Chain A
Amino acid sequence: GAGVSQSPSNKVTEKGKDVELRCDPISGHTALYWYRQSLGQGLEFLIYFQGNSAPDKSGLPSDRFSAERTGGSVSTLTIQRTQQEDSAVYLCASSPTRGQPQHFGDGTRLSIL
């Protein structure tokens, strides 16, 4: 079956531009997570959605970062006024419900020039 799909796979943009990253979770999965992975680092939690509950935004590093999940399915992570330190791989994961193992997409590699 289809796994977690992320797009684009690569994004290069200039400092100061806004970017949108998309995540299509596995159908029926109610939990959705966004992570950031910098070179040689572990996964840094950004935000978590569970069903129709208010998201846990406690990992977002600044107010330039925001995310939404429409209809309990597709999610978009938006970074406004990008900075060079935002360069990283952004990973999305979904699970049938919270507490169960996560299924990851292959990420979006974001490069800020």
Chain B
Amino acid sequence: EDQVTQSPEALRLQEGESSSLNCSYTVSGLRGLFWYRQDPGKGPEFLFTLYSAGEEKEKERLKATLTKKESFLHITAPKPEDSATYLCAVQYSGTYKYIFGTGTRLKVLA
């Protein structure tokens, strides 16, 4: 069965303490992997799309990478405003539906 698993479920960091979030997937043929940020009471906000293993994307303190089985969202020197839930979604060959993970709740303490 096609699945997307995110870890950890929750993460608390001190301001400036770098870390990584993981998204692992088991799908038959990846069309694309998407990262979103969701703030409480809001819809998800698009961050990155990755299409092939080895690809990397960066935006401010965030960097997303992709292998054949997983993706990482690296957060460098996070700030309190980076606190949010980070969602990973996979779109696989043969369909244009997305499978979402349950997210990682990130809290960055000042």
Given contacts A99-B32, A101-B34, A106-B41, contact A45 B46 (CB under 8 A): no
List B contacts of A4 (CB < 8 A): 43
Categorize the interface residue count of chain A: 20 to 34
- Whether A42 is near chain B, meaning CB under 8 Å from some CB there, is yes
B24 at the interface (CB under 8 A from A): no
B98, closest chain A residue (CB): A45
Question: What number of residue pairs across chains A and B have CB atoms under 8 A from each other?
Answer: 56
Query: What chain B residues lie within 8 Å of A99 (beta carbons)?
Result: 31-32, 91, 96
Interface residues of chain B, those whose CB is within 8 Å of chain A, are 4, 31-32, 34, 36, 41-46, 49, 87, 89, 91, 95-103
Q: Give per-residue flags for A83-113: 1 if the beta carbon is below 8 A from chain B beta carbons, else 0.
A: 0000000010100001101111111000000
Tell me the dominant secondary structure on chain B's binding face: strand
A104 to B38 Cα, complex, angstroms: 10
- Given A35-B100, A99-B31, A102-B46, 14 other A-B contacts at CB below 8 A? A42-B100, A42-B101, A42-B102, A42-B103, A43-B44, A44-B100, A45-B98, A45-B100, A56-B97, A58-B97, A99-B96, A104-B36, A106-B43, A107-B43
* Closest 4 pairs (CB-CB, A-B): A104-B43, A98-B96, A42-B102, A43-B100
* A residues lining the B interface (CB < 8 Å): 4, 31, 33, 35, 40-45, 48, 50, 56, 58-59, 91, 93, 98-99, 101-107
